[in-house]
Amino acid sequence: MEEVQLTELTGKMTLDEKIEQMTQVTAAFINKEYSEGAVTGPFAGMDIAKVDASGAGSVLGEAGAAKLNKLQKTYMDNHRLQIPLLFMADIIHGYKTIFPVPLAIGCSWDTEAAESSARIAAREAAASGLHVTFSPMVDLVRDPRWGRVMESTGEDRLLNSLFAEAFVRGYQGENLKETDTLAACVKHFAAYGAPEGGRDYNTVDVSERELYEHYLPAYQAAVDAGANLVMTAFNTIDGIPATSNQPLLRGKLREEMNFNGVVISDWGAVQEAIPHGVAENKREAAKKSALAGVDIEMMTPCYLNHLKELISTGELSEGLLDEAVLRILQLKNKLGLFEDPYRGGDEEKERITLLHDTHKKKARELAADSCVLLKNKNEVLPLKKSTRAVLIGPFASSKDLMGAWSIYGEEKDVVSLTEGMTSLSSSVVTTEGSGIHSTNEALLEEARNKAEKADVVVLALGEHSEMSGEAGSRSQITLPQAQIQLAETVASLGKPIITVLFNGRPLDLNQILNLSDAVLEAWFPGSEGGHAVSELLYGERNPAGRLTMSFPYNTGQIPVYYNHYSTGRPKKSGTLEDRFLSQYLDVPNEPMFPFGFGLSYTSFTYKNMTLSGHTFTEEEPMEVTVDITNSGSCRGREVVQLYTQDLTGEVVRPVNELKDFRLVMLDPGETETVHFLVDATMFAYYHSDLSWSWDPGTVRIRVGRNSEDTQEATVTLTKTSKG
């Protein structure tokens, strides 16, 4: 349809029909035969059940070509103006082929691979009839107690921005008229990743400057990459729930960030203005969200029940609804739904596309590159295939490797670690050893007996996938005690222990680290997880992951993140005598494993860091080169990281900031000279008046293998007279 036709169509719609377009429900509310749709929020007693929502303009949580084509047909047969339904769902890290959770993908530092994973997810989901994915989630995170850190790519705004762009490009491709694409819905606007106490849905209270400096950039990156929808967050921003926050949605998002697409609420978030305490009733909740610019209300009936009356009293203008409806129709038009309401949904295409071998291969490669080797004492890894290994733990044969938000993935398609290891070696025996939370003397005894006969023990430990994800916050981030007891029991036998972790957050590893000779963080690696981890354990692949979220010493150290501020009493190499410093009495200030950290089976040396001068200007950037050599015995990939520090600012500046990185693959003995360009704009920041600019002054430039292990140089940034 042409734009003018969309405007004409809006003009033909009754007020009720407009309000229906602004409402989203699960399929059951459109057609009672559909009752298995994904329920991703409170459902029992939902008020939406008390109204007729069968004319709602979009559906969430349903998938499958046959189901969606049938639903579309019955809907269109009854729709006066033949406006097709929009089908949306949470395709967060794969549809049927499940990729590692986004926090793992972030640790690959491989934005091309991330884009490819989104491309594959879109291809599979579109074949199953879907039009929109509620992804990417780009919330910056600093608190591993929060269950949804697994859904983010970590604590750094630059990396989160690069991944946000990559995911949007992957989902949307070049043109949404292509039927193997999905419209991307970036979420959750804004700063949902900063809830107090790491407790989901809790208050977020960050300063305006922090919001601009750290939390908004990734949403901006997704918007700039063309994301067609933005989902509002459950939390408050500056005391106002995001979903009824006009300064946030009309001010920041639409005006400052130049977003012209569809704003959709999160599940029930319009009506949650009432429990938040900013709306007396659904009528007021509807008014606030409509005025704030929420185009689609997800799963509550405030719009359905009250917008019409708010128009009649003149409290809302019909023009405001027309704007919202036009944006919704424009999205449906971009997707080509008016020409073909059945778009990509095709059972034959679905059959040949889902879980295609090429998809599984990509998933396996990305899963391997997302794992982070945290410890490898005496190079106990990689294992020889002839090594008599016993695989012990609740995750030894578990297929719960997809992690949260893998709604359409099926465990039957998951490769377990046992399956992976036994496909590579005939010298592996397996036993469960313990449950995730429960000990069992018989299991423990069997584990002990099998470990006695083995050369090496591989412990497969972790969190159940429901111990993270939405509403999956934990006040303590240790492994369950039953698994620690299993590890201690096995460790008492004196065999080398390799611990593989399957989990959705940075954990407090104090109790497990010293018991293990090696620790491999596998996160939730997805459908091909067993193969990916096994290929790492046996050295068919070399671990390449680097942390994008710090691992704290313990829960008490949270929040701990690399780009913190100095404070007035920074702790240097201080000891307890230097009592009056910003420090703990019982743990260091630094995390147990820092941002950017990850080991390899080989080693890389950094030599000849060279700068093009001692000063640079906005017209003459600083060139930085460094020679990276693979000084080990096997091919490997290094993530060469460039950090800077602005030593003084008009406001405090982080002690370290990632500004660039290179993925460098090297054979043993091979050297590559890596080049970076450091320019003045890298030092721009939000000043106290929220202006964005850089200042001349002394800055540090660092190059290294992680945020704590770098070589540095101190130089001067000057402004040219014209500057």
Shortest separation between residue 92's beta carbon and ligand GLC, angstroms:
8
Task: Give CB contacts under 8 A, 24+ apart, made by 66-73.
Answer: 66/347, 67/27, 67/34, 67/129, 68/128, 68/129, 68/130, 68/345, 69/129, 69/342, 69/345, 71/27, 71/30, 71/31, 71/34, 72/129, 72/341, 72/342, 72/345
Q: Which of 163, 171, 267, 408 binds ligand GLC (CB under 6 A)?
A: 267
Q: Which is nearer to ligand GLC, 227 or 368 (CB)?
A: 227
Shortest separation between residue 137's beta carbon and ligand GLC, angstroms:
6
Q: Which is nearer to ligand GLC, 90 or 124 (CB)?
A: 90
Q: Which is nearer to ligand GLC, 134 or 562 (CB)?
A: 134
Query: Would you state the structure tokens that stand for residue 42, as one six-digit string?
Result: 């409170």
Shortest separation between residue 188's beta carbon and ligand GLC, angstroms:
6
Burial of 119: CB neighbours in 10 Å, binned 0-12, 13-18, 19+ = buried
Dihedral angle, C-alpha 436, 442, 446, 452, nearest 10 ° = 100
Q: Which is nearer to ligand GLC, 167 or 685 (CB)?
A: 167
Identify whether the C-beta of residue 413 lies closer than 8 Å to the C-beta of residue 569.
no
- Is residue 60 at the binding interface for ligand GLC, with CB under 6 A as the rule? yes
Identify whether the C-beta of residue 617 lies closer than 8 Å to the C-beta of residue 599.
no
Q: Which is nearer to ligand GLC, 134 or 215 (CB)?
A: 134
The Cα 386–Cα 376 span in angstroms is 19
Shortest separation between residue 476's beta carbon and ligand GLC, angstroms:
24
- Is residue 346 at the binding interface for ligand GLC, with CB under 6 A as the rule? no
- Is residue 95 at the binding interface for ligand GLC, with CB under 6 A as the rule? no
The Cα 432–Cα 461 span in angstroms is 10
Q: Which is nearer to ligand GLC, 40 or 72 (CB)?
A: 40
> Which H or E element spans position 89?
strand 86-89
Query: By CB under 6 A, what part of segment 117-136 binds ligand GLC?
Result: 134
Q: Which is nearer to ligand GLC, 219 or 267 (CB)?
A: 267
Q: How far is CA 57 from CA 65, 75, 78, 329, in A?
A: 19, 10, 12, 10
Shortest separation between residue 649's beta carbon and ligand GLC, angstroms:
35
Q: Which is nearer to ligand GLC, 298 or 533 (CB)?
A: 298
Sheet containing strand 428-431, edge to edge, reads 372-376, 518-521, 497-502, 456-462, 389-392, 428-431
Q: List, in order, residues 6 or more apart from 203 with CB less than 8 Å away.
A: 195, 196, 235, 236
- Is residue 41 at the binding interface for ligand GLC, with CB under 6 A as the rule? yes
> Which H or E element spans position 456?
strand 456-462
Q: What sign has the CA pseudo-torsion 510, 511, 514, 520?
A: negative
Q: Which is nearer to ligand GLC, 186 or 457 (CB)?
A: 186
Shortest separation between residue 485's beta carbon and ligand GLC, angstroms:
35
Shortest separation between residue 216's beta carbon and ligand GLC, angstroms:
18
Shortest separation between residue 431's beta carbon and ligand GLC, angstroms:
38
- Is residue 90 at the binding interface for ligand GLC, with CB under 6 A as the rule? yes
Total of residues contacting ligand GLC (CB under 6 A): 9
Shortest separation between residue 253's beta carbon and ligand GLC, angstroms:
17
Identify whether the C-beta of residue 672 lies closer than 8 Å to the C-beta of residue 628.
yes
Shortest separation between residue 134's beta carbon and ligand GLC, angstroms:
3
Q: Which is nearer to ligand GLC, 20 or 470 (CB)?
A: 470
Phi first, then psi: what are they for 671, rounded to 5°?
Answer: -120, 140
For residue 676, give the amino acid letter: F
DSSP letter for 96, please: S
Residue that the structure tokens 């710090």 belong to: 550
String of contacts with ligand GLC for each residue 464-493, x by CB under 6 A:
------x-----------------------
Residue 42 CB: number of other CB atoms within 10 A?
13
For residue 282, give the amino acid letter: K
The Cα 113–Cα 118 span in angstroms is 9
Which is the catalytic residue, given 90, 156, 200, 266? 266
Q: Which of 110, 124, 139, 266 binds ligand GLC (CB under 6 A)?
A: 266
Identify whether the C-beta of residue 131 lies closer than 8 Å to the C-beta of residue 183.
yes
Shortest separation between residue 404's beta carbon and ligand GLC, angstroms:
10
The C-alpha R_g of the chain, in whole angstroms, comes to 26
DSSP string, 103-124: HHHHHHT-HHHHHHHHHHHHHH
Q: List, in order, residues 6 or more apart from 205 with CB less than 8 Å away.
A: 196, 236, 238, 239
Beta-strand ranges (E) seen in 542-621 are: 604-611, 615-617
Q: Side-chain half-sphere of 381: how many Cα atoms within 13 Å?
A: 31
Residue 34 CB: number of other CB atoms within 10 A?
18
Residue that the structure tokens 């104090």 belong to: 510
For residue 361, give the amino acid letter: K
Nearest residue to 229 (alpha-carbon basis) of 294, 311, 143: 294
Q: Which is nearer to ligand GLC, 187 or 308 (CB)?
A: 187
String of contacts with ligand GLC for each residue 182-221, x by CB under 6 A:
-----x----------------------------------
- Is residue 63 at the binding interface for ligand GLC, with CB under 6 A as the rule? no
Q: Which is nearer to ligand GLC, 266 or 346 (CB)?
A: 266
**77 is a catalytic site residue:** no
Q: Which is nearer to ligand GLC, 35 or 673 (CB)?
A: 35
Q: Which of 10, 40, 465, 527 binds ligand GLC (CB under 6 A)?
A: 40
- Is residue 155 at the binding interface for ligand GLC, with CB under 6 A as the rule? no
Shortest separation between residue 559's beta carbon and ligand GLC, angstroms:
21
The Cα 263–Cα 330 span in angstroms is 13
String of contacts with ligand GLC for each residue 408-447, x by CB under 6 A:
----------------------------------------
Query: By CB under 6 A, what part of segment 677-716 binds ligand GLC?
Result: none
The Cα 220–Cα 577 span in angstroms is 46
The Cα 377–Cα 474 span in angstroms is 30
String of contacts with ligand GLC for each residue 220-259, x by CB under 6 A:
----------------------------------------
Binding site for ligand GLC (CB under 6 A): 40-41, 60, 90, 134, 187, 266-267, 470
Please identify every residue annotated as catalytic. Answer: 266
